[in-house]
């Protein structure tokens, strides 16, 4: 019998009963309640949420047009910034944490800076306080990119005595993604949040200008049905592993990692039925996140014991409670990483790369980078060349995980 296929990230599988179109309560209020915030705003994708945020801020500060992002992030972020008519700036990373380097960030921030985007990559919590300090000092805003971190939280004070708040709530604006493979998915979807009621209102006004599209909603609804049917170990063979192997056979790592994005970013509201599906699935999300957190804790301990392998942790030590869609490893050299992923990526055993390159190294996104192509990205490039992600899906069972451990130990 063929081995079951492990998805690259731990997404919550949908049940047939999630597709029922009735039920009380809407996704926005259920999400706000679960997160412990007054309100959230839904969008058709994380990228769309970012665009709504950028347009809103631009209207508030029209003289500012630069947006600072980590040099290693989702290319969609670069495309969104460019599509809003803004200039990207790339911030190099710290060598000791997957987060922006504070000194570089301080140098990049200036009177042209509109926003700084600290990013909770792969559920690992970034240092938003640092970004706030640098941005607010020059009158810029902070947008937390929590696309990959819905459910992650930060203690208000060390020791946990002051309670916690969700990531995305510390910055001026935050957003999550509900795309395929995320903890909670409506196939594509996004969530915006902001602490300041005036900013929330301004975001809502920008969001209302997004025109509805029957065509996009129909297409996304059908895709969501397909996702509900195929996002399970047997369905992932044809839906994920076969296309992955094809991309790898062509040597196309960018396509294999799903980093091959189009310039066109659809913008439309998130339809009511898909919101309802998300609302039903959300009821199971807290328990799913608890299970994946426990699994990650056990597995991180085993992985950290392999000499030369570093398990990537939250950038804010002690106060963060990140989520665990994957377990990120930094291998000792790019050669070791490439040998490992090159040999086993196509097995369907749960390996992937968060992103293949730092933004300037794709080439295909140069038009969106503009002058940011010249920004220094050496440390980020080193991260990009040595990272590998192990899926934290519960479908990666113990024998499968033990096999990966042996493969890593043999490097
Ligand atoms: C770090 C980061 N930012 C933004 C996005 C965009 O989110 P979406 O795919 O929902 O448009 C992603 C997508 O995964 C992401 O990983």
Residue 47 CA to ligand 1 center (angstroms) comes to 6
Ligand 1 contacts CB of residue 192 (under 6 A): no
Ligand 1 contacts CB of residue 98 (under 6 A): no
Q: Which domain holds residue 203?
A: 1-411
pLDDT-based confidence at residue 162 (cuts at 50, 70, 90): confident
**Among the atoms of ligand 1, which is closest to the Cα of residue 182?**
14
SS3 115: strand
Is the pTM above the cut of 0.75? Answer: yes
Residue 177 CA to ligand 1 center (angstroms) comes to 6
Residue 145 CA to ligand 1 center (angstroms) comes to 8
Residue 182 CA to ligand 1 center (angstroms) comes to 10
Residue 401 CA to ligand 1 center (angstroms) comes to 27
Q: What tens digit of pLDDT does each residue of 305-350 get?
A: 999 999 999 999 888 999 999 999 999 999 999 999 999 999 999 9
What is the full DSSP assignment across 158-207? TTSTT-EEETTSSSSEEEEE--TTSSS-SSS-EEEE-SSHHHHHHHHHHH
Q: What tens digit of pLDDT does each residue of 354-403 get?
A: 999 999 999 999 999 999 999 999 999 999 999 999 999 999 999 999 99
Among protein residues, the one with the nearest Cα to ligand 1's atom 7 is: 46
**Among the atoms of ligand 1, which is closest to the Cα of residue 48?**
11
Across 2-14, average pLDDT:
92
Across 23-34, average pLDDT:
89
Residue 149 CA to ligand 1 center (angstroms) comes to 10
Residue 306 CA to ligand 1 center (angstroms) comes to 31
Residue 165 has pLDDT above 70, yes or no: yes
Mutation test of ligand 1: which of 147, 152, 168, 358 has the most ligand atoms closer than 8 Å to its C-beta? 147
Ligand 1 contacts CB of residue 190 (under 6 A): yes
Across 287-295, average pLDDT:
98
Residue 3 has pLDDT above 90, yes or no: no
SS3 289: helix
Ligand 1 contacts CB of residue 323 (under 6 A): no
Ligand 1 contacts CB of residue 119 (under 6 A): yes
CA distance 250 to 319: 43
Across 284-295, average pLDDT:
98
**Chain-wide mean pLDDT for the chain?**
96
Q: Phi and psi of 293, rounded to 5°? A: -65, -45
CA distance 19 to 168: 28
Distance from the first to the final alpha carbon of the chain: 28
Ligand 1 contacts CB of residue 348 (under 6 A): no
Ligand 1 contacts CB of residue 267 (under 6 A): no
Burial class (CB in 10 A: 0-12, 13-18, 19+), 148: buried
**Among the atoms of ligand 1, which is closest to the Cα of residue 121?**
1
Residue 406 has pLDDT above 90, yes or no: yes
User: Any idea what the CATH number is for the domain that residue 151 is in?
Assistant: 3.40.640.10
Across 65-88, average pLDDT:
98
Pairing of strands 113-116, 66-70: parallel
Instruction: Please state the domain count of the chain.
Output: 1
Mutation test of ligand 1: which of 9, 45, 47 has the most ligand atoms closer than 8 Å to its C-beta? 47
Residue 50 CA to ligand 1 center (angstroms) comes to 9
Nearest to 388 by CA among 274, 279, 275, 311: 311
Q: What tens digit of pLDDT does each residue of 208-249 get?
A: 999 999 999 999 999 999 999 999 999 999 999 999 999 999
Residue 16 has pLDDT above 80, yes or no: yes
Residue 148 CA to ligand 1 center (angstroms) comes to 7
Residue 388 CA to ligand 1 center (angstroms) comes to 18
pLDDT number for residue 161: 67
CA distance 393 to 180: 14
pLDDT number for residue 4: 81
């Amino acid at each position: 019998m063929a081995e079951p296929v492990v998805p690259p990230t731990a997404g919550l599988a949908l049940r047939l009963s999630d597709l029922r179109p009735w039920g009380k309560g809407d996704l926005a209020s259920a999400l706000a309640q679960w997160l412990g915030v007054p309100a959230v705003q839904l969008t058709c994708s994380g990228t769309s949420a970012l665009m709504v945020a950028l347009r809103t801020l631009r209207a508030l500060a029209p003289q500012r047009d630069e947006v600072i992002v980590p040099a290693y992030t989702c290319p969609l972020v670069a495309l969104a910034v460019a599509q809003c008519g803004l200039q990207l700036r790339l911030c190099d990373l710290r060598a000791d944490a997957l987060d922006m380097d504070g000194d570089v960030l301080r140098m990049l921030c200036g009177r042209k800076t509109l926003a700084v985007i600290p990013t909770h990559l792969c559920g690992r919590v970034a240092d938003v306080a640092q970004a706030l300090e640098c941005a607010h000092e020059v009158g810029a805003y902070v947008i937390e990119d929590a696309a990959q971190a819905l459910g992650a939280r930060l203690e208000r004070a060390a020791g946990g005595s002051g309670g916690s708040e969700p990531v995305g709530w510390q910055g001026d604006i935050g957003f999550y993604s509900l795309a395929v493979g995320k903890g909670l998915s409506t196939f594509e979807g996004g969530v915006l949040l902001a602490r300041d009621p005036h900013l929330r209102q301004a975001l809502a006004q920008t969001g209302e200008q997004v025109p509805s599209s029957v065509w996009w909603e129909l297409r996304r609804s059908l895709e969501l049905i397909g996702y509900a049917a195929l996002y399970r170990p047997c369905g992932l063979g044809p839906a994920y592993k076969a296309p992955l192997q094809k991309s790898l056979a062509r040597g196309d790592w960018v396509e294999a990692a799903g980093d091959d994005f189009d310039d066109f970013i659809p913008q439309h509201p998130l339809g009511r039925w898909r919101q309802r599906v998300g609302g039903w699935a959300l009821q199971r999300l807290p328990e799913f996140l608890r299970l994946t957190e426990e699994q990650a804790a056990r597995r991180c301990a085993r992985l950290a014991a392999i000499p030369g392998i570093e398990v990537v942790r939250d950038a804010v030590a002690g106060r963060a409670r990140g989520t665990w869609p994957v377990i990120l490893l930094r291998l000792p050299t790019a050669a070791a990483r490439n040998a490992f992923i090159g040999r086993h990526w196509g097995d369907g055993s749960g390996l992937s790369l968060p992103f293949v390159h730092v933004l300037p190294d794709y080439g295909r996104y140069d038009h969106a980078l503009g002058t940011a192509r010249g920004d220094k990205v050496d440390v980020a490039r080193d991260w990009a060349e040595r990272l590998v992600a192990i899926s934290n899906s519960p479908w990666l069972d113990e024998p499968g995980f033990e096999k990966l451990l042996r493969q890593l130990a043999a490097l």
